[in-house]
Structure formats: structure tokens, C-alpha cells
Amino acid sequence: MNDRIIEIVSKGVVTSSSSFLPDKKAVYERVIAKETNSQAKWTLETICENARVAERNQSPLCDDTGVPHLVLDVGTNCVVTGDMLESIKEGVRQGLRKLPGRPMAVMGDDAHRIDQSLGLNDDPGALDAAPILIRSIEEDKIRLHIMMFGGGPEIRSKTYRVFHKHNVDTVIDEIVSWATEGTKLLGCTPGMIAVGIGRSHYEATSMMIQAMVDGKFDKQSEMEKNITKRVNDAGTGALGLGGSTSVLATFLKVGSQRASGVRIVCMRPCCCIEPRIASVEL
């Protein structure tokens, strides 16, 4: 295995789990400045103070340190080897031990892992990453995006078909409905809404994950702004306390579409510390 890659990935896991990116810090500053609900304002300020402490200590932002999800960008003239993939997995394992991640790998065979009857592995590094998503880029680089997916948003996420009736508003209306319901139940608001639209459930989920990688809080499309505004208009607010900010942004990626009256939509209402992400070059 490649020690250099292991070290880079290990550090990336810690960074993703303990730091906000600059555009996220900036959007929090903006929403704190305009929030008029005192409890919501206190919540937003406390989330930011927690982020400052976590970054300083290189410690977890949240005790649910999440399940690692990896996106590997591969340049046109670059080569990915099996050894490189194994080194990435080892880097994740070492990063989870260093963080430390929450020891939440469920032990046992298929049935045991479903009912959790054999308990949990004490080793934070025993938590496997989700299957790696690979995509090509034009740069001559290999870049790994490391994201940690918390459990709360997974409960509220939804991948389902929408009959679009040849009107984009039909699909957006459905996304807003799902996102509004999801953020209300989530608790850890304000986060962002990640959305992928594709031809299959796999593709829609893949688009959603890529949206989390590529999305920027300070660069929003008109569709993204529209979804954000309408979810915020519902008034759930930070931590469900009301106020003006239920979500900070929407990250939307629309893939190729099927010649059909159906669109497959994947919506993930992310929590206030997500996307927990770090991008490293290998």
C-alpha cells in the first residue's frame, strides 16, 4: 500500500469531520446577522462556536461522526490502481481511529447486522466506507472528496419517482414538499438540501452525492434559490425553533433524463454541520 496516500486520506477524514469550509462559515455569518428570532440566533451562534472549537482541537463537530462516502475524480491521463483504492480504504480506517470516529460498525452476518443483535465493533476504524464513486475530470489530477454522512439526514432522505407532467415546477414542488417535511423532523437545522435527478434510483442518488461535492453556498442557481426560499418560507427554522433559516442553500444536480413521464428524484435534507467534506489530491 502507498503510505503517502494513506497519510493524506487519514488527514482528510479528520479535516472533513472537524472543519467548516470558508463558504459555509460565510453563509452562517450572513444568516446570523439577519436572524430576528432570539432562540434561533442563539442556536446559529452556538453551532458556529462549536465549529471553531472543533477546528481548533481537530475533534468531531458532532458525535455522529458519520459514514464515510468517497468520490474519486480521475484526470484524463491518470491511472487508478487497485493498490491505490486499498490505500484509500486504509487511510479512511486510520483517519477514523485518529479522529476518533464513533465506534459504530455493526458486527455479524447478514441477519445480525440487520437486527444489531451481536452489537458493535469497538474499533472506529472497522466502519467501512460506502462504495467509492468514480468520475472523470479534465485536469491531470486524482482528487478524492471525503464526506461523512450522519444518520439523522438518512432517516429523512427520500428517493422516489415523480411524474413530471412535462412541467419542471411539478418536480420542484415535490422536492420542496419532501424537503419541508424532512427539515421539520430533522432537528439539526439549518442544513442544506442535496438533490439529484436521474433515470434510475442509483443515478439519482449518485447525482445527489455529486451535488454535495460540487455545490457552493455562495453560488446558487435560480432553481436552487427557489427551493431554498420556499423551504425557508415554511418557517421551521434553526433546530425547529422558527425564524428565517431552515436551510442555508440547495445543492442540485440534474443528470441525463429518460424519455418518459417519470423523473427519479433523490432528496437528502442535510444537517447543520454538513456537508462534512474535505478534498485532497493524491
Among 185, 214, 258, 260, binds another protein (CB under 8 A): 185
Number of C-beta neighbours around residue 239 at 10 A: 21
Among 12, 91, 125, 152, binds another protein (CB under 8 A): 152
**Distance of alpha carbon 184 from alpha carbon 232, whole angstroms:** 11
Among 9, 27, 47, 144, binds another protein (CB under 8 A): 47
For another protein, give the closer residue by CB, 120 or 137.
Answer: 120
For another protein, give the closer residue by CB, 12 or 240.
Answer: 240
**Distance of alpha carbon 215 from alpha carbon 197, whole angstroms:** 15
Q: How far is the CB of 21 from another protein (least distance, A)?
A: 17
Q: Is residue 21 a contact partner of residue 277, using CB atoms and an 8 Å limit? A: yes
Stretch that binds another protein, among 69-77, 131-139, 163-171, 269-277 (CB under 8 A): 269-277
Among 2, 23, 86, 102, binds another protein (CB under 8 A): 102
| Residues of this chain, 218-247, that bind another protein according to CB under 8 A | 238-242
Question: Does 59 contact another protein by CB under 8 A?
Answer: yes
Q: How far is the CB of 219 from another protein (least distance, A)?
A: 26
What is the sign of the dihedral through the CA atoms of 242, 25, 132 and 64? negative
Among 187, 218, 221, 260, binds another protein (CB under 8 A): 187
Q: What is the CA radius of gyration of the chain?
A: 19
Stretch that binds another protein, among 74-82, 161-169, 192-200, 267-275 (CB under 8 A): 267-275
Question: Does 177 contact another protein by CB under 8 A?
Answer: no
Among 186, 231, 266, 270, binds another protein (CB under 8 A): 186
Q: Phi/psi class of residue 82: alpha, beta or left (left: φ > 0; alpha: ψ in -120 to 50)? A: alpha
Q: Is 7 exposed, middle or buried (0-12, 13-18, 19+ CB in 10 A)?
A: middle
Q: Is residue 209 a contact partner of residue 133, using CB atoms and an 8 Å limit? A: yes
Give 3-state DSSP helix, strand, coil % of the chain, rounded to 5: 45, 25, 30
Strand partners, 218: none
Question: Does 63 contact another protein by CB under 8 A?
Answer: yes
Question: Does 95 contact another protein by CB under 8 A?
Answer: no
Q: For residue 216, which of 175, 248, 188 has the smallest C-alpha distance?
A: 248
**Distance of alpha carbon 244 from alpha carbon 221, whole angstroms:** 20
For another protein, give the closer residue by CB, 110 or 122.
Answer: 122
Which residues of this protein are in contact with another protein, per CB under 8 A? Answer: 39, 42-43, 46-47, 49-51, 53-54, 57, 59-65, 99-104, 116, 119-120, 122, 124, 151-152, 155, 184-188, 238-242, 271-273
